[in-house]
Amino acid sequence: VFRNKLSIDKVDTRHNGMYQCEATNAYGTNRSSAELRTLFFAPSFTNRPVDSTKFGAQGGNVTIACNPEAAPRAEIKWLKNGEEVGRVLPSGALELTSLSQSQAGTYTCVATNELGEARSSCVLTVVASVVISEAPAHLEI
């Protein structure tokens, strides 16, 4: 506040909320309120990061969610080793099917709109399927 004026530099969603101004003099007190809502902001994973780790069974499927906060809505792409990968669902989630060991690694969700870009990563571990090599013997007790 400077010279009875509130200034907020680099407004973002942290500044959302109700603000109230109160003026007092010899004749009394008067208040005025205003709500601040940030309508346009760059993508952010601060409140909703991608899961940091995920496990999937070999031969199975896995979905990794990507839900950044952004306005306007962010375009989503997924990278592994700098290359675009996988099937991106309309929700922005990455769907990987028929998992193999070669799909294990770090996947990065890249969210972009005209105000900026944000990234959040997940390490996928592919676990070998259980193999029963010998059927259990029939035992009577």
- pLDDT tens-place string over residues 54-90: 999 999 999 999 999 999 999 999 999 889 997 899 9
Pick the more confident residue, 36 or 131.
Answer: 36
For the cut 80, the answer to whether the pLDDT of residue 135 exceeds it is no
pLDDT for 73: 95
pLDDT score for 132: 73
Each domain of the chain, given as residue ranges in start order, spans: 41-127
Statement: residue 105 has pLDDT above 90: yes
Judging by beta carbons within 10 Å of its beta carbon (0-12, 13-18, 19+), is residue 126 exposed, middle or buried? buried
- Classify burial at 106, counting beta carbons within 10 Å of its beta carbon; exposed 0-12, middle 13-18, buried 19 or more: exposed
The mean pLDDT value of the chain amounts to 91
- Report the pLDDT value the prediction gives residue 37, as an integer from 0 to 100: 84
Percent of the chain with pLDDT over 90: 70
CB 42 within 8 A of CB 116: yes
Query: Which of the four CATH numbers 3.30.360.10, 2.60.40.10, 3.40.50.300, 3.40.10.10 does domain 41-127 have?
Result: 2.60.40.10
